[in-house]
Structure 1
Amino acid sequence: MVVTASVDDNAIGAALLRKVAPAGTVRTALVDRGFEASVVEHGRTLGIDVQIVARDPVDTGFIPDPIRWRVE
């Protein structure tokens, strides 16, 4: 889905989960820290494990993390 930058991450995240859930092919969704627990819970009700991928707080500067890189 492509939306304008003014659309809230949580709103579009919930909409995207609703769109992909009926196919049953998405089991896990990786999201960044911009998402709230409500999206995680919404995913759970749809059978999708939404995982918030956070950067390690001790890291500074640009450090590519394989999972986080896919999320960004």
Structure 2
Amino acid sequence: MPGDGSDTFKSVYRGAASLAGGCFAGIRNPHSHEGGLSELPEHEALEQLAVISVLARWVDSATVER
């Protein structure tokens, strides 16, 4: 959504930033930094991909403002 400074925009922005941070902290970092992790069960891997897919769609539809 356009960055109009509204409370809704601020909520959406904060939510996307929080989701991105959560993906890094809870999904990416453990798999990248803990070499001993075993493979995930298929259903868990699909759930994680679904979350990352939502975040990627949001990022793809965003507009960079300078």
TM-score greater than 0.5 by the shorter chain:
no
Report the TM-score when normalising by structure 2. Answer: 0.30
Q: Which has the higher contact order (CA 8 A, sep 6+)?
A: 2
TM-score (norm 1): 0.29
Q: Which structure's residues are more often helix, by fraction? A: 2
